[in-house]
Amino acid sequence: MKPDCIIIRNDLNGKVEFVSEQTEWQHKWEKDVLTYDVEHHETLKLLSKRQLKRAVNLAVSTWNFEIPLKFKSAWNTQADIEIRFKTKDEDKYFKDRPSVLAYAYYPGQGKASGKVVFNASYIWDLKGKGIKGKDAIKKGLVKNVSYPENILKTYNLYAVLIHELGHTLGLKHDVTGKKDGADIMDPYYSVTNLDLSDRDIYRIRVKYGQRVYDRFVWYNIIKRWLSLAIRR
C-alpha cells in the first residue's frame, strides 16, 4: 500500500518535483461518525500535549466545517484516524525519503486507512517561524549548532496536518493548479494559506456532500473564527 505525502525539497535549488495524475481516490468513509486521536512524541519540545490536541481539533474542524460527517475524539483508543510522530530511525519511509514531512493513507486501504505519520526528525511548532540555535539547544531539539544566533527552520503543524487530513478523507494531491500553496491539497509545503481554497471545498463536498447551516451568516462567522484560531 502506498501512502500520499507532502514534501519540502529534493534538490539544492529548493525545488520540489512531484509527478502525479489528477484523479480522485475511489473510496471514502462509509460511516457518519469518524473518530480520531493523536499521540505526543518526545521530540515535540515546542508543543505540549494540550497544545497538540487543540491543534488537531482545529485542523479536524477545518474539514468538518464543510461536510456533514461528524468527528469525535477518541484519545488513547482505537480510532479511524490515527496521528503519530516518528523519527527517521523509527520509520523506514522517512529514512528512505528524508524530504518527506508527513504521509497519510486514504480510506479503503485496509488496516492502514486513516493513518497519518509525521516526520519527528523535523522541528514542529504552530507558527513555522523558526527558533534560534541557542534556544533549540536549551530545549533539547538539537545537540549543537555552528552559529547559535542563527534561526533554525521549524515547520507549521497546521499547514501539514490539514493537508494530511485531506488525504485521510480521500483527497489526492491537486496537480491542476499553480502549485503556489493556494490549495491545501497542493503537494508543496506552504504556510502562505492555512484556509481551504474554493477548490479544496468543492472536491471534499463532491465526495461527502455539503454541511447545511440554518443561516449563511453562521457559516461565515464560524469560518472566520476557525481561520483566526489557527493563526493565534
pLDDT band at 78 (very low <50, low <70, confident <90, very high): confident
For 186-232, give the secondary structure using H, E and C: CCECCCCCCCCCHHHHHHHHHHHCCCCCCCHHHHHHHHHHHHHHHHC
Residue 9, pLDDT above cutoff 50? no
> What is the residue whose three cell numbers read 502562505?
192
DSSP assigned state of 52 = H
Sign of CA dihedral 174, 159, 154, 72: negative
Which residue segments constitute the domains of the chain, with CATH numbers given? 29-231 (3.40.390.10)
Mean pLDDT of 200-217: 85
**What pLDDT does residue 35 have?**
96
State the pTM of this model. Answer: 0.86
**What pLDDT does residue 167 have?**
96
Mean pLDDT of 15-37: 75
Question: 80: Cβ–Cβ under 8 A, 6 or more apart, which residues?
Answer: 29, 31, 34, 35, 36, 113, 114
Percent of the chain with pLDDT over 90: 63
Interval 38-48: pLDDT, tens? 999 999 999 99
Interval 141-181: pLDDT, tens? 999 899 999 999 999 999 999 999 999 999 999 877 655 55
